[in-house]
């Protein structure tokens, strides 16, 4: 089947957060929403078919999570990432964010320290602080437009950390980690007895011939140490169904995690997420293989447009995710003014860069998982606004 990602789908009756929460987020509905990480594309047809069949049954009582569900996810990881693991060490979770919260709760004391590498997905801050723990930051350093890790600082911070949250691949910088770097990080975490949670939610969205390396595969030690969060919700645009998977290195960690959830009596998928994930991982590959070049071409379109028409804003085509990191420092606006400029003048709803790195200034995050014509409109609005500055 050929998918048409150029199609504009009206999401106005869809109760979509990306559209319907514009007023709450930006104070106006008059912005093109290019913020929260979901896509404006319809998902793979086999998923739609499976959900339609299930909907038509008209009977959605408490649902048993059968082995085939985890088998579909495991088989996907084996096929695409060469990662195999013991199926009995897999758990379900409502979302990767909830898994992060749980890891913070079970691995760290109140007042403890959680190490994150910033800029990073803002929930890494929020899930830490919600539970009364402290964020400690290993900040990426920008060198000639490339962001690199400060290893010395990483090791120093590990000495006082109770948990390390890794974003692999990285949102918002969009890089795919190299095996050597992952191994070096895990070795250091083992040395300082710091548990590792690897958030791999973007691991199917990889470009430019790069390969995602699951952190747990970098060594035997990593396989018996790292806890991994994966999900089909980013890959197949199913975030509203709320389901993800955690792969544990041992039964002890899995039990601790599962107990945290079962204490709230959360222990079943909703009937639809179960069906959708199974269809996605068993039959969704054809759709994904068509989606990736479309997103990659969207990256190229934005890079090219900015270079030619708005050279004050710098960016690059990321190797992972569908999110672009815009360096707007040359516009000379402080963060509040930059945010207002995007909303009021360009009429675009992006994420402010300082929500990913609190000490950063002058960056914005752009979601390009939308039809090309929407991006074209967005770039024209941005160009006109910059020219009027």
Ligand X SMILES: Cc1ncc(COP(=O)(O)O)c(C=O)c1O
Q: By C-beta, is 108 or 231 nearer to ligand X?
A: 231
For ligand X, which stretch binds (CB under 6 A), given 4-12, 92-100, 155-163, 340-348? 92-100
When the beta carbons of 35 and 287 are compared against ligand X, the nearer one is 35
Q: Kindly identify the residues of this chain, within the stretch 312-351, that bind ligand X according to CB under 6 A.
A: none
What is the bridge-based pairing of β-strands 226-230 and 196-199?
parallel
Q: Which is nearer to ligand X, 246 or 310 (CB)?
A: 246
Least distance to ligand X from the beta carbon of 2, Å? 28
Choose the stretch contacting ligand X; rule: CB under 6 A; options: 91-99, 189-197, 271-279, 310-318.
91-99
Which positions from 54 to 83 touch ligand X by CB under 6 A, shown as an x/- string? ------------------------------
CB 225 within 8 A of CB 189: yes
Least Å from the CB of residue 157 to ligand X? 20
Q: How far apart are CA 258 and CA 266, in angstroms?
A: 9
**Among residues 323 and 378, whose Cβ is nearest to ligand X?**
323
Which span sits near ligand X by CB under 6 A: 89-97, 106-114, 218-226, 278-286?
89-97
In whole angstroms, give the CA distance from residue 249 to residue 254. Answer: 8
Among 137, 162, 199, 258, binds ligand X (CB under 6 A): 199
Burial of 26 (0-12, 13-18, 19+ CB in 10 A): buried
Residue of 138, 171, 203, 367 that binds ligand X (CB under 6 A): 171
> Under 8 Å CB-to-CB from 357, ≥6 apart: which residues?
118, 119, 120, 137, 139, 363
> Cβ(204)–Cβ(229) under 8 Å?
no
Q: Report how many residues bind ligand X under the rule CB under 6 A.
A: 13
Question: How far, in Å, CA of 101 to CA of 239, rounded?
Answer: 18
Could you say which of 121, 207, 287, 342 contacts ligand X (CB under 6 A)? 121
Is the previous residue joined to 186 through a cis bond, with omega within 30 degrees of 0? no
Q: Locate the DSSP E strands across the chain.
A: 32-33, 90-93, 113-118, 134-139, 141-143, 146-148, 163-167, 196-199, 226-230, 244-247, 323-327, 348-349, 351-352, 363-367
Q: Would you say 97 or 176 has its CB closer to ligand X?
A: 97
Residue from 104, 167, 338, 375 touching ligand X (CB under 6 A): that is 167
Nearest distance from C-beta of residue 23 to ligand X, angstroms: 21
* Complex with ligand X: residue 157 or 170, whichever CB lies closer: 170
Q: Is 119 in the site for ligand X (CB under 6 A)?
A: no
At 198, give phi and psi (nearest 5°): -105, 115
The span of 94-102, 110-118, 154-162, 296-304 binding ligand X (CB under 6 A) equals: 94-102
Task: For the CB of residue 244, give the shortest distance to ligand X in the complex, in Å.
Answer: 5
Residue nearest to ligand X (CB): 95
Minimum separation from the CB atom of position 228 to ligand X (A)? 12
* Separation of alpha carbons 162 and 385, rounded Å: 45
Q: State in angstroms the smallest separation of the CB of 167 from ligand X.
A: 5
Residues 222-281 that bind ligand X (CB under 6 A): 231, 233, 239, 244
Please report whether residue 96 would count as binding ligand X according to CB under 6 A.
yes
Binder to ligand X among 34, 37, 107, 385 (CB under 6 A)? 37
95 lines the binding site for ligand X (CB under 6 A): yes
* Residues sharing a CB contact under 8 Å with residue 204, sequence separation 6 or more, in sequence order: 80, 212, 234, 235, 288
* Residue among 281, 309, 302, 286 at smallest CA distance from 370: 302
Q: Is 141 helix (H, G, I), strand (E, B) or coil?
A: strand
3-state secondary structure 65-132: CCHHHHHHHHHHHHHHHCCCCCHHHEEEECCHHHHHHHHHHHHCCCCCEEEEEECCCCHHHHHHHHCC
| For ligand X, the closer CB: 137 or 305 | 137
Residues that bind ligand X (CB under 6 A): 37, 95-97, 121, 167, 171, 199, 201, 231, 233, 239, 244
């Amino acid at each position: 089947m050929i998918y048409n990602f150029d199609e504009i789908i009206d999401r106005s009756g869809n109760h979509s957060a990306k559209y319907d929460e514009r007023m709450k987020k930006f104070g106006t509905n008059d912005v093109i929403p290019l913020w929260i990480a979901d896509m404006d594309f319809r998902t793979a047809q086999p998923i739609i078919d499976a959900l339609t069949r299930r909907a038509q049954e008209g009977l959605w009582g408490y649902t048993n999570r059968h082995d085939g569900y985890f088998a579909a996810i495991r088989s996907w990881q084996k096929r695409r990432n060469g990662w195999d693991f013991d199926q009995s060490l897999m758990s379900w979770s409502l979302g990767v964010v909830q898994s992060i919260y749980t890891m913070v709760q079970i691995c760290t004391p109140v007042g403890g320290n959680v190490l994150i590498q910033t800029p990073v997905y803002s929930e890494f801050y929020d899930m830490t602080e919600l539970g009364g723990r402290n964020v400690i930051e290993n900040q990426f350093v920008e060198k000639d437009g490339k962001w690199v890790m400060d290893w010395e600082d990483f090791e120093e911070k590990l000495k006082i950390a109770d948990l390390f949250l890794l974003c692999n691949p990285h949102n918002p910088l969009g890089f795919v980690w190299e095996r050597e770097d992952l191994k070096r990080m895990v070795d250091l975490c083992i040395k300082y007895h710091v548990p590792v949670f690897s958030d791999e939610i973007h691991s199917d969205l990889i470009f430019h011939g790069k390969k995602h390396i699951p952190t747990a595969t970098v060594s035997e030690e990593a396989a018996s140490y790292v806890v991994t969060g994966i999900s089909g919700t980013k890959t197949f645009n199913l975030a509203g169904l709320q389901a993800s998977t955690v792969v544990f290195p041992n039964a002890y960690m899995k039990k601790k995690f599962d107990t945290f959830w079962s204490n709230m009596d959360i222990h079943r998928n909703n009937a639809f997420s179960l069906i959708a994930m199974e269809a996605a991982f068993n039959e969704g590959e054809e759709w994904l293989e068509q989606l990736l070049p479309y997103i990659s071409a969207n990256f190229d379109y934005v890079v090219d447009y900015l270079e030619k028409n708005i050279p004050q804003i710098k960016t690059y085509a990321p190797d992972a995710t569908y999110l672009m990191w815009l360096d707007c420092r040359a516009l000379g606006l402080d963060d509040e003014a930059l945010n207002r400029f995007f909303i009021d003048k360009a009429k675009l709803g992006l994420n402010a860069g300082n929500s990913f790195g609190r000490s950063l200034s002058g960056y914005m995050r752009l979601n390009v998982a939308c039809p090309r014509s929407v991006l074209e409109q967005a770039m024209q609005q941005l160009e006109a606004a910059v020219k009027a500055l």
